[in-house]
Structure 1
Amino acid sequence: MLDLEGPIWKFALDFYRRPGVSEACLTLQEDANVDVVELIVVLFSAQVIGRDLSSDEVTDMRVKMLNWREMTVLPLRQVRRTLKPYCPGFPQHEKELLRSKVKSIELFSEQIQLAMAYQWLTNSAPTRASLTLEGALETLLEVESFDELPPGCRNSLARIVSTVLDMDDFPR
């Protein structure tokens, strides 16, 4: 059974509500196709657990969560986005209620994905060929260097890294 309220979930909630983080995560999600859950896992592993992930570990984590993401998170996100614009002939109030419920279910599916990642982190043995946080993020973003990212994504990534490095108040 997964621990849905575990340390990685608490970290994600704390991290995401910090100034500028939600906007930065959404920019990376929209403009660089980043899975924010995977991003949070890499940050949590490095900053809270003290475990820098290797390129192979980042890849393994992605593979382990891919089916869940593709079968739940992404379809729910698509439904939520489809319901966002004004739709003539739709009962607008009820459409917004439905969109809000779908958004909650999408968030719950990401909570499950985080719990799956935490289980993977605690059950997998660290490798010796670990990367720096920057290297793990480059692997996650599938770039050789952050310079390859559009300026908005580089700024968002800088905000995220700066924020996570300043999270001294998060219990380890």
Structure 2
Amino acid sequence: MELEADKFWHDSIAHYEQPQVKEACLWLQNEKQLNVNLLLLICWLAERNIELTPDQIKVLLDASQEWHDQNIAMVRQLRNATKAASWMDAERREQLQQKLLESELTMERIEQQIMLEQVKGLSPTPKSPANPEQSFWNYLLLKNIPLDEEIQAQFGQLLTA
């Protein structure tokens, strides 16, 4: 089973760039505080016939939480704050937002590497065919988020792309 970080990153970017995927990821992140990289990993692993249990998901989140909170969340907050920086001219504001986005993406890539290294250490058993919904439901179970129609629809958008 080949789980390469570069392959995961490039596949994630291609998947995320699809409008319905991006919208679903941002909704799940903003409304339910779910980790987009973990959502993308769930989809990517399912393509490789791997499902994640709640315990395995907890390991991934625990391993990446400090990095996420101290780096990604901080830069994302800064990037979003620059949108309201009316004291800055539009061109400079856009340049700053772009630089912060580049930094955020670099940090997202590192977070993916952290998660993928943990997956390798978990030695998940391939299951053919894997059910990405099961891993997603396990993630919701771990976060104590009830599955409702809106969440199911958003996750469906992640899978249809």
Flag the structure with higher helix content: 2
Quote the residue 2:122 is aligned against.
124
CA contact (8 A) 2:85 2:93 kept: no
Quote the residue 2:136 is aligned against.
137
| Consecutive aligned runs of 4 or more in structure 1 exceeding 3 Å deviation | none
CA contact (8 A) 1:4 1:112 kept: no
Deviation sequence 1:18-40 (CA, Å, 0-9, x none): 24111111111111111101111
- Return the offset for 1:124: 2.2
Gap change, CA 1:135 and 1:115, over 3 Å in 2 = same
Quote the residue 2:69 is aligned against.
70
- Which residues of structure 1 form unaligned runs of 5+? 164-172
Gap change, CA 1:36 and 1:116, over 3 Å in 2 = same
Quote the residue 2:93 is aligned against.
95
Gap change, CA 1:76 and 1:145, over 3 Å in 2 = same
Residue 31 of structure 2 aligns to a residue whose secondary structure is: helix
Percent identity over the alignment? 21
RMSD over equivalenced CA pairs, Å: 2.4
CA contact (8 A) 1:86 1:92 kept: no
Residue 53 of structure 1 aligns to a residue whose secondary structure is: coil
TM-score (ref. length: structure 2): 0.83
Residue-pair matches, total? 154
Quote the residue 1:56 is aligned against.
55
- Return the offset for 1:14: 1.8
- Return the offset for 1:100: 1.1
Gap change, CA 1:127 and 1:59, over 3 Å in 2 = farther
Gap change, CA 1:132 and 1:145, over 3 Å in 2 = farther
CA contact (8 A) 2:24 2:157 kept: yes
Once the two structures are superposed, the pairs formed by residues 1-172 of structure 1 within 5 Å of their partners are 6-47=6-47, 49-87=48-86, 89-126=87-124, 132-141=131-140, 142-143=143-144, 145-147=146-148, 151=150, 153-163=151-161
Aligned counterparts of 1:135 and 1:144: Cα–Cα separation in 2: 14
